[in-house]
Amino acid sequence: MLYLEKLAEIEAKYEGLTDQLGRAEILADPAVYQKTAKARADLTEIVEKFQEWKAIHKAVKDTKALAEESSSDPEMKALAHEELAGLEKRQEQAEQELKILLLPKDPHDEKNVVLEIRAGTGGDEATLFAQEIFRMYARYAEAQHWRVEVLSTSVSGVGGLKEVIALIEGQKVYSKLKYESGVHRVQRVPETEQQGRIHTSAVTVAVLPEADEVEIEIDTKDIRIDTFCSSGPGGQSVNTTYSAVRITHLPTGMVVSCQDEKSQIKNRAKALRVLRSRLYELKLQEQQKQITEERRSMVGTGDRSEKIRTYNFPQNRVTDHRIGLTLHQLDRIIEGKIGEIIDALIAHYQAEKLQQPPTRELGEDQPPPALAV
């Protein structure tokens, strides 16, 4: 059902915000103007889609009337019915898109993310795969016009990555990457394999919504900060000064290290961002334990122990086990073209949500006017 009263309320609110943006008192206060502009921008997509639906709905009514008036003209009547079929198809599509836009928003969708990738089983081969997976996400981020900042790395002896932690900033980053958490498995013949046997290795991926300081406050008495000399390449200033930082969160035992910058202050700031996001994830997990039905309806739990995807190089195949999607395009996907998988996961999640009973209040006295879909 399409709830027209709810959509009309949203449209009226949008028009009210548009009017406010033109007022002198709003224009004179940058903070209020920015808040008002963001509230309006958040409603733009659904209002534009509602206006499109209304235009199509009017065209359907007019075309039906034309078909009835042309009952004595078979040719005109046939043309009207042909046009009506196309309009009704467009109307159905617009209704489906509106239903999705009316779903409750994930409050974290607009957030930047902290991406953590770690080599798992498979030794050196796992570290090489971790490097490829990070490059895959970095190239996808570049295509989305996001910014990637590496916060911490640990390099293996063969040039792979034992671990990499990066901050990805941009528009709706978490909404796109939130289903990527889990175990990513690779099946291929390593370069060092003499007999051509396929090996299986794995890496873990964690996508954490970046927490703001106001959301997660870290008390100074709850952390211990140690400094040490950086290891690995980086030049004399990196390896001989105490620029590297290790922060231990005493209540949870979490440890975060950062040594990529020459400045101890910058490394400390980066480590605190990672720690804050990890504590935020822990807080979210505690909340989610109380919403078991909600978690069952989601596309996978995002648990790091869950094998979510297999990359099979001999068959040029990628399979996402949660939704049964298989693509024989591994060569393209590993180069960052993962949009088809991400879109399929989002669509599956939305379809699951649409099957649930409405959770929004749509009227106190009686149901609003609705259209059957």
Q: What CA–CA distance (Å, rounded) separates 41 from 50?
A: 15
Both tokens of residue 313? 């190089």
pLDDT at 74: 82
| Residues 329 and 316 sit within 8 Å (Cβ to Cβ) | yes
pLDDT at 304: 43
Max CA pair span of the chain: 93
Say if residue 264 is exposed, middle or buried (CB neighbours under 10 Å; 0-12, 13-18, 19+).
middle
pLDDT at 180: 94
Strands (E), the chain: 2-3, 113-119, 147-155, 161-169, 182-188, 199-209, 223-228, 244-249, 254-258, 307-312, 317-320, 325-327, 370-371
Model confidence, pTM? 0.66
Which residues, other chains included, contact 59 with Cβ-Cβ below 8 Å and sequence gap of 6+? Answer: 87
Which residues, other chains included, contact 371 with Cβ-Cβ below 8 Å and sequence gap of 6+? Answer: 1, 2, 4, 95
pLDDT at 338: 96
Query: Cα torsion for 321, 326, 332, 337, to the nearest 10°?
Result: -60
Return the bridge partners of 31, or none: none
* DSSP summary character for residue 368: P
pLDDT at 331: 96
| 217 to 175, 245, 250: CA distances (angstroms) | 24, 20, 14
Mean pLDDT by 10 residues, the chain (373 residues): 79 93 91 91 91 92 85 82 90 87 82 92 92 97 95 90 94 93 92 77 90 71 84 50 85 86 83 86 70 39 64 96 95 96 91 66 34 33
Q: What is the DSSP string of 295-347?
A: HHHSSS---TTSEEEEEETTTTEEEETTTTEEES-HHHHTTT--HHHHHHHHH
Name the residue among 165, 173, 166, 164 with its Cα closest to residue 146.
Answer: 173
**CA dihedral over 170, 176, 179, 181, signed as positive or negative:** negative
pLDDT at 78: 86
pLDDT at 156: 92
| Residues 129 and 183 sit within 8 Å (Cβ to Cβ) | no
- Residue written as token pair 């940058």: 30
